[in-house]
Amino acid sequence: MRAVRTTAVTALAGAAVLAAVTGCTAKSDAKAEGDGVTVTAKDDSCEVSKKEFPAGHVTLNVENRGSKITEVYVLYPDDRIVTERENIGPGTKATLTAEIKAGSYAIVCKPGMTGAGIRQAVTLTGGDAAAPKRSAEMDAAVAAYRQYVQAQAEETLPKVKVFTDAVRAGDLEAAKKAYAPSRIGWERTEPVAESFGDIDPKVDVREDGLEEGQDPAKDWTGWHRLEKALWQDKKITAREKQLADLLDKDLADWVKRVGTAEITPTSMANGAKELLDEVATGKVTGEEERYSHTDLVDFKANVEGAQKSFDLLRPVATKNDAALVAELDKQFAALNTLLDKYRADKAGYDFTSYDKVGDPARKELSDGVNALAEPLSKLAAAVVK
């Protein structure tokens, strides 16, 4: 569909615009608006136009009629996130689309973007027949990625134990040394871990990521809390030892649950893009590892994780958009070459401390991230085309 700005000016109230907003695609044969489910979010309610609707490609048309900024989730029965949309301002509309299988789910509005939110139970009908039928190639890609994610999680636990053992032993230097390596598996697969919603805030939150009302002394847990203790406060107390135990426990939970994560070719492609978003907003700026300055280790791990998804999706993507695949190959290679400038041993993860990376060099890294992330944002479309 060739969109012209004129349409918005002349036909603001016309059906053509509404159809566009609901996210219809050329492929979906111009679904009428009635096919979607309407979610009306207010400050004290979360109304759903239908409680029962067919599984498959689901479109939620959200309208925030409340006075607060809101977010809307679709959750599995165990509160895993199927899909979500944050930052829906008062008076604005948003569209969520996802491939959802038959079953029971909850649609949740969170006015003010905090708290448990307001839930509506919904049922998706039609059994597996309504679920999107994927090619064998796509299924293979998903299965291989699931294995990768599982393996990364399992290999992470012993590395974390080296780190937490050092903390428990009160060995500051050993703990510092083991810190960055303990995060690599997590950073490679972070979008999957984040889909659980509750694990990331326990293990990977930064102090400024705490919600209002949370007390850093009590509520701040995980890697970055320990990072601050080791590099900034330079001491290990009973509290840090406690936090080390907690990190082991929370990550063991991650390993146990990661296999149940809902993974689709689209989520793999978007996950790859999200890893580059992580690099662009957290690593290139030096915010992520502000005490240890081990940002480049996370950076490398994020890129590796994105590259894994891309490699697994390559057969599908090549058929639909060979030029995009060629460009991605080139840009992954270029960014990896650039990162190699910051480590002597190409097989290891001993990267230059990020506080030693000057502004012109950071600009070069940022340009490299943009060069890769822009085509990577087109991978999902190349996979579903």
Partner 1 sequence: MTPEPTPGGGPARRTVLAGGGGLALGAAVAGGAAALTRDGDATAPVADSGAAVPFHGPHQAGIATAVQDRLHFAAFDVTTDDREKLEKLLREWTRAAERMTAGREVGEGAYGGLPEAPPDDTGEALGLKPSRLTLTIGFGPSLFDGRFGLKDKRPGALVELPRFPGDNLDPARSGGDLCVQACADDPQVAVHAIRNLARIGFGTVAVRWSQLGFGKTSSTTPDAQTPRNLFGFKDGTRNVAGTDTAALDRHVWVGAKEATGGGAWMAGGSYLVARRIRMNVETWDRTPLAEQEDIFGRDKKEGAPVGKAKEHDEPFLKAMKPDSHVRLAHPDANGGAHLLRRGYSFTDGTDGLGRLDAGLFFLAYQRDVRSGFVPVQTALAKADALNEYIQHVGSAVFAVPPGVRDADDWWGRGLFS
Q: Which residues in this chain contact partner 1 in the complex, by CB under 8 A? A: 1-6, 8-10, 20-21, 23, 25-27, 95, 97, 266, 269, 327, 331, 359-360, 363, 367, 370-375, 377-378, 380-381, 383-385
Rounded to whole angstroms, the Cα distance separating 246 from 252 reads 10
Rg (CA), the chain: 22
- CB closer to partner 1 out of 69 and 98: 98
Residue whose CB is less far from partner 1, 166 or 312: 312
Residue with Cβ nearer partner 1 (157 or 381): 381
Q: Of 133 and 235, which CB lies nearer to partner 1 in the complex structure?
A: 133
Length of the chain (residues): 385
The residues pairing with 53 across neighbouring beta strands, listed in sequence order, are 124
Rank residues 21 and 131 by Cβ distance to partner 1 and give the closer one: 21
Question: Which residue, 249 or 385, has its beta carbon nearer to partner 1?
Answer: 385
> CB of 39: closest distance to partner 1 in angstroms?
16
* DSSP H stretches of helix in the chain: 5-10, 15-21, 127-130, 136-168, 172-179, 184-188, 190-194, 200-203, 216-219, 223-227, 238-258, 265-278, 295-320, 322-340, 359-376, 379-384
Q: Is 322 exposed, middle or buried (0-12, 13-18, 19+ CB in 10 A)?
A: exposed
How distant, in Å, are the alpha carbons of 52, 305, 349, 356 from that of 298?
43, 10, 10, 16
Taking the C-alpha atoms of residue 182 and residue 257, their distance in angstroms, rounded to an integer, is: 19
Least distance (Å) between residue 259 CB and partner 1: 25
CB of residue 317 to partner 1, shortest distance in Å: 12
Q: Residue 151 or residue 323: which is nearer to partner 1 going by CB?
A: 323
Which of 246/381 has CB closer to partner 1? 381
DSSP SS3 for 184? helix
The nearest distance, CB 107 to partner 1, in angstroms, is 18
Instruction: Write out the DSSP string of 239-259.
Output: HHHHHHHHHHHHHHHHHHHHT
Beta-strand relationship, 52-54 and 81-88: unpaired
Distance in Å, CB of 177 to partner 1, minimum: 35
CB of 141 to partner 1, least distance (A): 15
Distance of alpha carbon 262 from alpha carbon 77, whole angstroms: 13
Closest separation in Å from C-beta 98 to partner 1: 10
Indicate the residue among 6 and 128 with the shorter CB distance to partner 1.
6
Tell the smallest beta-carbon distance from residue 3 to partner 1 (Å). 3
In degrees and rounded to multiples of 5, residue 62 shows phi and psi of -100, 135
Q: In what order do the strands lie in the sheet with 118-125?
A: 52-54, 118-125, 103-109, 70-75, 81-88
Helix (H) or strand (E) holding 67, with range, is none
How far apart CA 299 and CA 309 sit, in angstroms, is: 16
CA–CA dist 88, 86 (Å, integer): 6
Complex with partner 1: residue 162 or 381, whichever CB lies closer: 381
From the CB of 364, what's the least distance to partner 1, in Å? 9
First to last CA, the chain: 14
- Smallest separation (angstroms) from partner 1 to the CB of 212: 28
Distance CA 299, CA 209 (A): 20
